[in-house]
Amino acid sequence: MENTREKNKRSDGRKKTYFDRENKKKAVRIEKTKSVAPEKGKQKKSSSSSKCPYQKKCGGCTYLNLSYEEQLAKKEQFLKKTLKGIVPVKGMVGMENPYHYRNKVNSAFARKKDGTIISGIYEKGTHKVVPVDECLLEDQRADAIIRDIRSLLKSFKIMIYNEDSGYGLLRHVMVRTGFASGEIMVVLVCVSPVFPSKNNFVKALRKLHPEITTIVLNVNDRTDSMVLGKRDIVLFGRGYIEDELCGCTFRISPQSFYQVNPVQTKNLYEKAISLAGLTGNERVMDAYCGIGTIGLIASRDAREVISVELNPDAVRDAVTNAKRNQIKNVSFYQNDAGAFMVSMAEKGEKADVVFMDPPRAGSDEAFLSSVVTLSPKKVVYVSCNPETLARDLRYLTKHGYKAEEAWGYDMFAWSEHVETVVLMSKQRNKDQLPGRDGEIRQLNSLRVYGQSEVRADGLCRS
């Protein structure tokens, strides 16, 4: 994001577009601090509002009444207000094309009283399915596949699950697409592993959409609102797709966490790693590592990366991703990241940089305390919730860290959500020393395994 640019300045000074020579694409940045949200009654209507007949019932795209430029300004204003007095917000990075960016589509299914099968989204605050054929945010290939699945269900006489009666089979369909690879995964979420005429159904679907690379049956017999169950049965292909991000290839299983906006994820991760200022000599901790994305990307510029994740399925994918990319300087641990960092600190270990990307609820005090105990030189915090981010930054600033700068990224165009990356630096003290020899010292009581293995005690290493 720091490359030579050709800039176009608007007369109002609010928006700058630039051409990134290295990545050969345009981007949008809102930079000046005086950006304000449009006044009530004076908002410029977006042409997008007339394109979405589902807006009122869906409730997802709360900013469809604004132009894209106006919503970026509104998000920047909100971010600056929320983080005021904590960290300076340097800018808001938008998208060149804020449509059809979602690489994961979840579609709920239902049957109307007249027997018609419908698919779409739940009406806001309910479990009533609103029929949706096309969404402004979703990958258009995914929408087309879901429409054809709806037709096939009728042909094959597949029963739609009814939450009230508990009868039926199919609950949801999830489609995941690889932005760079073009690979497509279809996940049929059913209450039973028995899918009538499954081979013929798969054959018929692939005839309509030969671009599909894998089809998975996910068994979800739970009574809660979770979309996916724990059991996956591969009906066709490998049971996963791969995609490329920042020069690394990642395996994406049905249950893997992978950012839904691939273009902005690349921009966000590049900025996060740039803020860390890696020179090749650092020991890096990747907390909440998921399938290993940011840690594996950062490993090219670090001496060693220690990645910690509690979800065993995500850890397995992370280990596979390290092997797939022939990365040897990353260790993966299935553990609570906070407890793991406390254990490291108790053994006299240090980390130079900690990357953290918690869920919307943010981090808890126990985790933040463990960061302070480990005492890294830098903390790079990626957040999808500015309010919990502000809370966590206040804690860290009270315990020896300075929030240097923040950048907003529009990962969820047309919604009110904003992603943020913040650099925090440890205020100099005599105890801030690097680790030794790139090894986790005095952890000999913990068995560490080879790259392709994940054992029952929850530790693995690449």
Report the CATH number that the domain containing residue 329 is assigned in CATH. 3.40.50.150
Residue 140 placed within a domain: yes
In this structure, are 327 and 359 located in the same domain? yes
pLDDT at 302: 98
Contacts of 38 by beta carbon, 8 Å cutoff, 6+ apart: 44, 66, 70, 73, 74
Whether residue 181 sits in one domain with residue 60 = no
State the DSSP string of 99-118: SS-BSEEEEEEEE-TTS-EE
Which of 177, 209, 244 is at the close of a domain?
244
Average pLDDT, the chain: 84
Tell me, yes or no, whether 289 and 392 share the same domain.
yes
Residue 253 within a domain: no
Q: What pLDDT sits at residue 20? A: 40
Residues 10 and 138 in one domain: no
Of 9-13, 203-207, 293-297, 307-311, the one with minimum mean pLDDT is 9-13
Structure letter (DSSP) for residue 36: -
Q: Which residue has the tokens 């399938």?
A: 291
Are residues 349 and 441 located together in one domain of the fold? yes
pLDDT at 204 over 90: yes
The pTM assigned to this predicted structure is 0.81
Mean pLDDT of 408-423: 96
Q: Which domain holds residue 108?
A: 104-244
Confidence check: pLDDT of 413 > 90: yes
407 and 267 fall within a common domain:
yes
Asked if residue 159 is part of any domain, the answer here is: yes
**Residue 425 CB-density burial (10 A; 0-12 exposed, 13-18 middle, 19+ buried):** middle
Higher pLDDT, 134 or 7: 134
**Which of 429, 433, 423 is CA-nearest to residue 400?**
429
Task: Choose the final residue of a domain: 181, 210, 244.
Answer: 244
- Structural domain contains residue 343: yes
SS (H, E, C) 316-363: HHHHHHHHHCCCCCEEEEECCHHHHHHHHHHCCCCCCEEEECCCCCCC
Instruction: Write the pLDDT tens digit of every residue in 61-90.
Output: 889 989 999 999 999 999 999 999 999 999
State mean pLDDT over 413-441.
69
Q: Which of the four pLDDT bands, split at 50, 70 and 90, describes residue 50? A: low
Residue 402 lies inside a defined structural domain of this protein: yes
Spell out a b/e string for 65-97, using b for 16 or more CB atoms within 10 Å of the CB, else e.
bbbbbbbbbbbbbbbbebbeebbebbbbbbbee
In a domain, 182, yes or no: yes
Tokens of 146: 């879901």
Query: Any idea what the CATH number is for the domain that residue 119 is in?
Result: 2.40.50.1070
Report how many domains make up the chain: 2
Burial of 305 (0-12, 13-18, 19+ CB in 10 A): buried
**Looking at the structure, do residues 293 and 442 belong to the same domain, yes or no?**
yes
Mean pLDDT is lowest, of 115-119, 431-435, 449-453, for: 449-453
Pair (288, 423) in one structural domain: yes
- Asked if residue 77 and residue 123 are part of one domain, the reply reads no
Residue 341 confidence (pLDDT): 86
**pLDDT tens sequence across 145-179:** 999 999 999 999 999 999 888 899 999 999 999 99
CB atoms within 10 A of CB 119: 23
The string of pLDDT tens digits covering residues 376-391 is 999 999 999 999 999 9
pLDDT higher at 5 or 381: 381
Q: Is 384 part of the annotated catalytic residue set?
A: yes
pLDDT band with cut points at 50, 70 and 90 for residue 28: very low
Mean pLDDT across the stretch 311-315?
89
> For a pLDDT cut of 90, what percent of the chain falls above it?
67
DSSP secondary structure of 48-67? GGGG-TTHHHH---TTTTS-
Query: Average of pLDDT values for 202-211?
Result: 98
Residues 229 and 368 grouped into a single domain: no
Chain-centroid distance of CA 233 in Å reads 24
Same domain, 315 and 240: no
CA distance to 114, 132, 318, 376, per residue, from 353 (Å): 59, 44, 20, 5
Calpha distance 391→82 (Å, rounded): 10
Query: From the candidates 61, 135, 248, 384, which is the catalytic residue?
Result: 384
pLDDT at 439 over 70: no
341 lies in the same domain as 447: yes
251 inside domain? no
Contact between residue 141 and residue 67 where contact means Cβ atoms under 8 Å apart: no
Which token pair is 423?
């650099």
Specify the pLDDT at position 429: 58
- Domain membership of residue 254 (yes or no) is no
pLDDT of residue 142: 98
| Structural domain ending residue among the three candidates 244, 272, 294 | 244
pLDDT band at residue 223 using 50, 70 and 90 as cut-offs = confident
What is each CA distance from 388 to 75, 272, 365, 426, in whole angstroms?
16, 19, 12, 21
